[in-house]
Structure 1
Amino acid sequence: MKNYKIVDMTVGSPLKHILIFTIPLVIGNIFQQLYNMVDSIVVGQYVGKAALAAVGACGSMNFLFFSLSFGLSNGVGILVSHRFGAKDEEGIRKTISSAYFVLTTVSLIITAIAFFLAPVLLRLLDTPSSIINDSISYIRVTCLGILGITLYNGVAASLRALGDSRTPLYFLIFSSIMNIVLDLVLVINFNMGVVGVALATVISQYASAVVAFIYAFRNVEYFELTKEAFKPDMDYVKQEIRLGVPLSLQSSMIAFSCLVLQGVVNSFGENVVAAFTITSRVEQLVQQPYNSIGTALMTYSGQNIGARKIDRVKKGFRQSAGIVAVFSVLMIAVMYIFGKNISGIFVSDSEVINMSYTALKITSPFYFALGMIYVPRSLLNGCGDTGFAMINGITEVAGRILFSQLFLYFGLFGFWSVWVTTSATWALTSVVCMMRFFSGAWMRGVKEEQVYRRKLKLSVPNIAIKRA
């Protein structure tokens, strides 16, 4: 290995591994969220609340298009972690080389679909006429960055699967700083409005992908471009699709449910759209520690499933749940005390600020439920139980659609129903995720690993499978 440090999570303290792995992820994910945060702040403060609403109206649609390729990147990472836990170096190489083909092909297809379909979806969502042209421009430019962000995520997911969560952080810091500088230059100096912030994001995404690939090719032997790398192993392509497609569908279903909720938000007018944009950006930031712990658990559980160490997986789950509980209580206090100040960062309109502050007080008591979606779901994905991803996606779709329509039909909560719907959906989904974990169904991944090892004629001790 060319001076490249990997981390074996199948030995040592689970809590120590998870925390050390999580901290760079938290920092990195916060920087990644700066893409959206800075976009919103710049257009809100320098262009106006209509531009802020135009960017916000694209949030769920961006999530939909980007999530389709994100799922495949995570599928690659899961497979790499399994092969690493099993000490199968050849399997790692074949997984990564096959990923070039899978991620590039899917990204190009999604980019074409997104570019031409975006205006139709925005109209179907009843996007206010005052902002729809800016929304179409913003979404069309940002979707051109799908290939860049997918390739970056493919490299990052593979590095994390090998136990390295620090190196992808450096790439994110680099691209985030570039994004901030370009936002300010293109919007303030060149007066490019929403197109400027979208273009800044795309340039930054491709820059991070290029830097990540250069680093990986020079420092990690599994990424070397050989003749075999341009001939994807179809067995590994099928495995990546088997793991990645359910994750993509899960994310796309969640994104679809967010689109439906965005349609409800749009029906209440520009101020509610702006307030919902602010709370969404804040909640995306709050979610980053949960997301980071989840990513750490995905790698941790993947390696330990590959090594067939079930008890370590369970212990990692318990300790991660404790971290989520402590952070959630802290964030409730922050939102109740500083929520109005946080809202004021995005816009100067007092009505929008007060509305978003009240909304944060509605959703923040449900942060623990939100965190307990990420913990079991990521662990299950890491163990190869990606079939549950479909159940999880269906749950979030049902929650957002049914709750929002129910509240509207009976006239409950008025426009506040959009935030009550969010809270209720978090609660419902977390219960379903916890039920899946405690059912023990995820442990069938151990059996699949045993089959794989027998195929390679590796030693396979028998492991008793018990309920969680």
Structure 2
Amino acid sequence: MTKISNLTEGEILSPLLKFAMPVLLAMLLQVIYGAVDLIIVGQFGAATDVSAVATGSQVMMTITSIINGFAMGVTILIGQKIGQGRFKEAGNVVGSGICIFSVLAAIITAVMLIFAVPISRLMHAPVEAFDDTVLYVYICSAGTIFIIAYNVICGIFRGIGDSKTPLITVAIASVANIAGDVFLVAGFDMSVAGVAIATISAQAISVILSIVIIKKRGLPFEFSKSSIRFHKGITSQILKYGAPIALQDGLVNLSFLAITTIINSLGIIASAGVGVAEKLAGLIMLVPSAFAQSVSAFVAQNYGANKYTRAKKTLAYGISVSLCFGVVMAYFTFFHGNLISGIFSKDIAVINASWDYMKAYAIDVLMTSFMFSMTGFFNGCGKTTFVMFQGIFGAFCIRIPLSYIISKAAPASLFYIGLATPSSTFVQVIFCLVYFIIVSKEFKKEKYTKSGVYI
């Protein structure tokens, strides 16, 4: 049977690093998972193919971010129930989650299949790449059920403190995706269609493997078929925690879609270059993103156990480690970004466009080292409405307007357009610092333990 990891006792830094490392490796594999698609199509196709995959994958990333946001509701609630010692209710969280995401899968699949063409048109996909962009969205949308199932299962594992199992499943999925890309794109010259089919097939393999592992090990709390229903109270709590995160993540990704639309209007080279840069952004932001999830899972259990001081210490460690890695990534990206961009394309113009845009992410990674861990902390405390607010404000009040204004300058520099992202993050960090002070005061008002010792 899968064991519950108790994150409420003992040291903090060492267990946090042990928990974060599998999350980090899993996210790295997911970055590679998406990057390989662009690498293979870039080496065996043309700039139009790169543009189609880049634009189409941006659309699917937005859908995935919404799904992952809702899944965080499951992670947070399971962690809090475990922290409170309510193990039966943790099983009901899983059951309610399955019902919620089954409905969500049906809705998203239908919407994406119906509106694939209008969405691609709205994205201003270059004329030369338009049909392939639509094809990519169609194929990936048909496999939405696997994308949803994977994120929900990972959310359950993280909630019980198990970050290793998702690593195993995503590792196998990554190998399957690479094999599929090589077989279909390089071997059968299926280009964009081959990339999309390989992606969905790999997700399906990952889900099947996860289900097999769960059946073999079982869950560390009571769970049966009777648990799979909309439990009153628990369903609303999942939505209460998950919906703000999903809305925020979805709208933030929509802001990046809007920026992609702005970039697409600048031509095929800019479109392909920024598409490559966005894939590499996942690598640049890898450590801060991993600690956002890890801090959230850690804090959820400690918040549920009323160990507020321990929760705040977890945040401090998350920021410290993220910042150390952030400095290294910032230097390499700003001064040597062309080296990694060259992996994705053989077109010098595309490589230089990607590097130019990535320099802005070099600045952004320093600030996300603070922001991501802080939003993870707030999510773990169930303060997801604030996380939604700061994310939406940064995206729609700063990032999009600045990108648009700068894009109209002559000449339009991709680096200057990209600066809209760190500008947004800076304001969001200020919001987070102010809200952290407010939350800290709330903690101080909480009751003492029976022994009279503040926790």
Q: Same fold (TM over 0.5)?
A: yes
Cα displacement string for residues 280-335 of structure 1 (whole angstroms, at most 9, x for unaligned residues): 11111121211111111011100000000010011111111111111111112222
Question: Which amino acid in the other structure matches residue 36 of structure 2?
Answer: V
Q: Does the 8 Å contact 1:328/1:367 carry over to 2?
A: yes
Q: Does 1:263 align with 2:250?
A: no
Tell me how far apart the structure 1 counterparts of residues 221 and 352 of structure 2 sit (CA, whole Å): 51
**Which residues in structure 2 correspond to 1:42-441 (within 5 Å)?**
42-222=40-220, 226-395=224-393, 396-409=395-408, 411=410, 413-440=412-439
Tell me how far apart the structure 1 counterparts of residues 81 and 279 of structure 2 sit (CA, whole Å): 36
Following superposition, the deviation at residue 465 of structure 1 comes to 10
Following superposition, the deviation at residue 422 of structure 1 comes to 2.3
Following superposition, the deviation at residue 150 of structure 1 comes to 1.6
Higher mean displacement: 49-58 or 408-417: 408-417
Q: Secondary structure at the match of 1:9?
A: coil
Q: Does the 8 Å contact 1:53/1:270 carry over to 2?
A: yes
Following superposition, the deviation at residue 352 of structure 1 comes to 1.6
**Which residues in structure 2 correspond to 1:443-462 (within 5 Å)?**
443=442
Determine which of 4, 13, 16 is the counterpart of 1:15.
13
Question: Which amino acid in the other structure matches residue 133 of structure 2?
Answer: S
Q: Does the 8 Å contact 2:67/2:151 carry over to 1?
A: no
Higher mean displacement: 117-126 or 430-439: 430-439
Cα displacement string for residues 395-452 of structure 1 (whole angstroms, at most 9, x for unaligned residues): 22222212113324555854443312223223222332333223217957997xx9xx
Paired positions, count: 454
Question: Which amino acid in the other structure matches residue 424 of structure 2?
Answer: T
Q: Secondary structure at the match of 2:383?
A: coil
Tell me how far apart the structure 2 counterparts of residues 44 and 393 of structure 1 sit (CA, whole Å): 32
With normalisation by structure 1, the TM-score equals 0.91
Q: 1:254 to 1:164 in 2, by over 3 A?
A: same
Q: Secondary structure at the match of 1:8?
A: coil
Q: Secondary structure at the match of 1:58?
A: helix
Question: Which amino acid in the other structure matches residue 67 of structure 2?
Answer: S
Q: Does the 8 Å contact 2:19/2:294 carry over to 1?
A: yes
Q: 1:231 to 1:440 in 2, by over 3 A?
A: closer
Q: Does the 8 Å contact 1:80/1:95 carry over to 2?
A: yes
Tell me how far apart the structure 1 counterparts of residues 62 and 174 of structure 2 sit (CA, whole Å): 22
Question: Which amino acid in the other structure matches residue 114 of structure 1?
Answer: M
Tell me how far apart the structure 1 counterparts of residues 345 and 298 of structure 2 sit (CA, whole Å): 40
RMSD between aligned residues: 2.4
Following superposition, the deviation at residue 370 of structure 1 comes to 2.1
Cα displacement string for residues 168-191 of structure 1 (whole angstroms, at most 9, x for unaligned residues): 100010111001001110112222
Q: Does the 8 Å contact 1:9/1:303 carry over to 2?
A: yes
Following superposition, the deviation at residue 461 of structure 1 comes to 5.3
Tell me how far apart the structure 1 counterparts of residues 247 and 450 of structure 2 sit (CA, whole Å): 34
- Aligned-pair identity (%): 26
Following superposition, the deviation at residue 219 of structure 1 comes to 1.1
Following superposition, the deviation at residue 366 of structure 1 comes to 2.6
Cα displacement string for residues 49-93 of structure 1 (whole angstroms, at most 9, x for unaligned residues): 210011111233212222222211110010000001111111111
Q: 1:81 to 1:130 in 2, by over 3 A?
A: same
Tell me how far apart the structure 1 counterparts of residues 385 and 411 of structure 2 sit (CA, whole Å): 35
Higher mean displacement: 215-224 or 48-57: 215-224
Tell me how far apart the structure 1 counterparts of residues 344 and 445 of structure 2 sit (CA, whole Å): 48
Q: Does the 8 Å contact 1:377/1:433 carry over to 2?
A: yes
Q: Does the 8 Å contact 2:90/2:221 carry over to 1?
A: no
Q: Does the 8 Å contact 1:217/1:224 carry over to 2?
A: no
Q: 1:144 to 1:94 in 2, by over 3 A?
A: same
Tell me how far apart the structure 2 counterparts of residues 273 and 366 of structure 1 sit (CA, whole Å): 21
Structure 1 gaps, min length 5 = 451-458
Q: Secondary structure at the match of 1:79?
A: helix
Q: Does the 8 Å contact 1:384/1:445 carry over to 2?
A: no
Tell me how far apart the structure 1 counterparts of residues 451 and 438 of structure 2 sit (CA, whole Å): 21
Q: Secondary structure at the match of 1:234?
A: coil
Question: Which amino acid in the other structure matches residue 376 of structure 2?
Answer: S
Determine which of 28, 35, 39 is the counterpart of 2:37.
39
Tell me how far apart the structure 2 counterparts of residues 106 and 222 of structure 1 sit (CA, whole Å): 26
